[in-house]
Amino acid sequence: RNQLKRSDVKFWGLHPGGLKIMQHIERRLELEPEELKYSRAVLKQYGNMSSATILFVLDEIIKSGNPQPGEYAVLLAFGPGLTMESCLLRW
């Protein structure tokens, strides 16, 4: 619907609910470990804070100073039960 390819997405933010979840999503989306570095940093520093954790990941991406106008990010978050939120961002 957005005419985007996976390679068009520069930043990936994944709710770090735990290492197993992150590894599973990484495999399924064929992401490189480097692409989830912000999510891993938040997991290491704060742990799992439920679906709100994705906002900490977004903050890490922004603080990196790397997002440039026109670049895309995909954010994926998971909540209690079987809840999933996703967002496509364009800087």
Copy the structure tokens of residue 32.
Answer: 């490189």
Cα angle for residues 46, 67, 33 (degrees, 5° grid): 55
Q: Quote the pLDDT of residue 32.
A: 93
pTM for the model stands at 0.86
pLDDT score for 48: 86
Tallying the residues shown for the chain, one arrives at 91
pLDDT digits (tens, 9 = 90+) for 13-70: 998 888 888 898 899 999 999 999 999 999 999 988 877 889 999 999 999 988 999 9
The band of 90, judged by pLDDT with boundaries at 50, 70 and 90, is: very high
Q: Whose CA is closest to 16, among 62, 63, 61, 52?
A: 52
From residue 31, give the alpha-carbon distance in Å to each of 12, 13, 46. 9, 11, 23
Residue 80 has pLDDT above 80, yes or no: no
Rounded distance, CA 15 to CA 33, Å?
Answer: 14
**Which CATH number is 6-90's, of 3.90.470.10, 3.40.50.960, 3.40.47.10, 3.20.20.70?**
3.40.47.10
pLDDT number for residue 18: 83
